[in-house]
């Protein structure tokens, strides 16, 4: 029995949306807010997120756990963030800019590699 392509695409979309669903805001961070435990640190990392994305919360939690300063941009609440996200080739969240490097999706290893390069 062949499954119609449209049905397969619909199922994939439902699963993908379900993977990124979650409640509440993005770790309580305000859009454009720089987050750091070190008040002398400079945020060279920008994270483009949405409030409903579980992988976005996971990335922010990872950065906070490592004590790495970052700036959060909610692409649904901030038109400037949305524009920057599109200019970075955004096609899903999170998108993380580390200096001149861009990481698409949840990839903490790549973020750390680029972060350590810039130290």
pLDDT by residue (tens digit) across 43-95? 589 999 999 999 999 999 999 999 999 999 999 999 999 999 999 999 999 99
Hey, how many other C-beta atoms are within 10 angstroms of the C-beta on 61?
12
Q: Can you give the CATH number for the domain in which 109 is found?
A: 3.40.30.10
90 located within any domain: yes
Q: What is the pTM of this model?
A: 0.67
Rounded distance, CA 114 to CA 92, Å? 20
6 located within any domain: no
Is beta strand 45-49 parallel, antiparallel or unpaired with respect to 70-74? Answer: parallel
What's the Cα-to-Cα distance from 74 to each of 9, 31, 33, 62, rounded to whole Å?
Answer: 27, 5, 10, 17
27 located within any domain: yes
Number of domain units in the chain: 1
3 located within any domain: no
54 located within any domain: yes
* Average pLDDT of the residues of the chain: 79
- Which domain covers residue 66, as residue numbers? 23-117
Contact in structure between 37 and 67 (CB atoms under 8 Å): yes
9 located within any domain: no
């Amino acid at each position: 029995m062949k499954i119609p392509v449209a049905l397969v695409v619909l199922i994939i979309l439902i699963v993908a949306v379900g993977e990124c669903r979650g409640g509440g805001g993005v770790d309580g961070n305000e859009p454009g807010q720089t987050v750091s435990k070190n008040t002398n640190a400079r945020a060279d990392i920008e994270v483009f997120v949405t409030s409903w994305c579980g992988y976005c919360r996971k990335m922010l939690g990872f950065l906070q756990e490592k004590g790495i300063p970052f700036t959060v941009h909610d692409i649904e609440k901030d038109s400037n963030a949305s524009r920057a996200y599109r200019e970075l080739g955004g096609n899903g969240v999170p998108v993380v800019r580390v200096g001149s490097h861009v990481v698409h999706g949840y990839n903490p290893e790549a973020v750390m590699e680029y972060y350590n390069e810039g130290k």
